[in-house]
Amino acid sequence: MVAYACHPEGGGEHWLGWGWALAAKRHHDVWLLTPTNNIETISKHAAEAGIHVSFVPLPAWQKTFCGLLGGTGAWLRKYLWQYQALRKARELHQTVSFDLVHQTTFHTFRIPFACSRIGVPSVWGPIAGGESVPKGFDRFLGKDAAKENSRARANRLCLWIPGVRSSLRRSAAILVSNRTTIDFLPDKHRSRCILMPANAVSVRDAATPPRDRTRQGGRLELIYVGNCVSRRALPIVFESLREFSPDEVRFRVVGKGEALQEWKREANRLGVQDRVEFTGGVDADTVRRYYDKADALAFPSLRDSGGSALLEAMTRGLPVICLDWGGPAEMMDEHSGIKLPVNDPDETVALLTAALRQLIADPEWGRQLAAAARDRALTLYTWEGKGAALDAIYNRILQP
């Protein structure tokens, strides 16, 4: 198992990189190839879990060269590391004789799966990255609209990178975190694509019972949790809030990031600053308290492969309001939240407004969504379930 991002006590993709190795270990003997970051922590957890780990360094001159290139160098470093991992995998294969190789992180098609070349069946993913902003929704991106359009064009070019083309061709199974990315990949590879959202429920959230949500009317408490980046498109919510008074809806924005100041200006421009609270970055315990005070999570992201906040909210018994697009659309259904279509931005805002009015008028509906959200999270997104899914995929490949 190849995981560039991997840290048992980390967050985001680093935590997921470790989680996939642990999930596979439930049914198989796992050799983990990962960079030399966090050696002590990974070694400790690997010894406890019975996972063999091999740390793969990047040559010093390559690290130095990549460091001189800024953001481009960060991507180049990930790319170059894959071929160091391939060299190590081939060396290990001479003595271990692997049955299968699986690259899990980073969760993007843009980083090639070099270890697919060692001569055994290979599984790639979950990958994502084929998401782009729906047509007509640029107005919610502010100054970053041009950047998002450039990214979409660059994505098409990335499909022509020889390492990417080879990785897609060689993979016996391609785990993909959302249908938007499946539709983005070339037609000839789609028959080997398997929908597999990358996120998983944390042990702590799974063990914590949800707060009893007994709101009998009154103000609706919305929350957003996550990075404050333009693609999360909170101005969609701000436009809807113009139809409500401060006594009807309050929106708490939890997080920090480069879009925060622009969002504050947009809330003032639309005249809804008295309905929006910006908390900035807070610690994990405070985030959990905010979840418990909320009635729904608003996550109107225009480009996301998944969304850890969605799963956190669902596990704590919160319904989710998101767009029917990208990763968030895969993580919930009509029984556990509200998915807004992306045919037209004005229609999306209008349907969000209607959904908020219904949540205000019908608290019981909100509680039903909340209960279904937690049930869905604990049924589909545990590491036990993902381990069983990996086992089925591996066995299908190895024993067709």
Out of 73-87, 129-143, 209-223, pick the least confident: 209-223
CA atoms within 13 A on the CB side of 41: 13
The arrangement of strands across the sheet holding 337-340 comes to 276-280, 249-254, 220-225, 296-299, 320-323, 337-340
Q: Output the pLDDT for position 64.
A: 84
Q: How many CB atoms lie within 10 A of CB 349?
A: 21
Rounded CA-CA distance 16/278 in Å is: 28
The mean pLDDT of 52-66, rounded to a whole number, is 88
Q: Which of 223, 199, 381 is nearest to 290 (CA)?
A: 223
- How large is the C-alpha radius of gyration of the chain? 22
Q: Which of 309, 305, 324 is nearest to 128 (CA)?
A: 305
**DSSP assignment of 247-315, as one string?**
TTEEEEEE---TTHHHHHHHHHHTT-GGGEEEEES--HHHHHHHHHH-SEEEE--SS-S--HHHHHHHH
Residue-range domains of the chain with CATH: 2-128+159-199+382-398 (3.40.50.2000), 203-380 (3.40.50.2000)
Lookup: tokens for 263? 């969002």
Percent of the chain that is helix, strand, coil (3-state, to 5): 50, 15, 35
Q: What is the pLDDT of residues 362-386, one digit of tens each?
A: 989 988 999 999 999 888 888 888 8
Q: What is the pLDDT of residues 299-343, one digit of tens each?
A: 999 988 877 888 889 988 889 999 998 888 888 888 889 999 999
Rounded CA-CA distance 300/150 in Å is: 21
Q: Which of 86, 89, 84 is nearest to 31 (CA)?
A: 89
Angle at which helix 60-67 crosses helix 71-96, to 10 degrees, equals 160
- Percent of the chain exceeding pLDDT 70 equals 96
DSSP 8-state symbol, 319: -
